[in-house]
Amino acid sequence: MDQKSVRAGQDKDMEQVMGNLLRYGVILAAIVASAGGIMYLVLHGGDAQPSYAIFNGEPERYKSLQGVLQGVKVFDTSSIMQLGVLLLIATPIARILFSILSFMREKDYLYVIISTIVILIIAFSLFNGLGG
């Protein structure tokens, strides 16, 4: 095989793994959120509906990974739902991390850099953010 078709073959592998990563990420997130959601409804289904008409911001325990994980540990059902949400956010981020690895394997350093820049922008938004 010449250089070009080796690269095309590697791109094909990358496409297959990337496709699976996205699919299973979404499925896992949906299962976790639904499990938490169903348990929440069993426990709190009869409560009065919370109002979302005025923006108050969420309590601290829903606003960070640490907070959510602490809630999950004590089996707080809303925290389990929120964990599903976090898994969903993590899915495309995992896809970029995977791209970095596969571009490295292909020795395509230009795209290792490009993918890394994207990850850094998201990390900036996640940990710092503007006007947060």
Residues in touch with another protein (CB under 8 A): 11-12, 14-16, 18-20, 22-23, 25-26, 29-30, 33-34, 36-37, 40-41, 44-50, 52-59, 62-64, 78-79, 81-82, 84-86, 88-89, 91-93, 95-96, 99, 110-111, 114-115, 117-118, 121-122, 124-126, 129-132
Nearest to another protein of 23, 105 (CB atom): 23
Q: How far is the CB of 113 from another protein (least distance, A)?
A: 10
Question: 10 Å Cβ neighbour count for 6?
Answer: 11
Q: How far is the CB of 48 from another protein (least distance, A)?
A: 7
Q: How far is the CB of 24 from another protein (least distance, A)?
A: 9
Q: How far is the CB of 81 from another protein (least distance, A)?
A: 4
The H or E element containing residue 40 is helix 3-44
Nearest to another protein of 1, 110 (CB atom): 110
- Residues 40, 93, 67: CA angle, nearest 5 degrees: 40
Task: Identify the CA nearest to 29 among candidates 108, 107, 100, 90.
Answer: 90
Distance CA 85, CA 72 (A): 13
Task: Identify the CA nearest to 36 among candidates 86, 84, 81.
Answer: 81
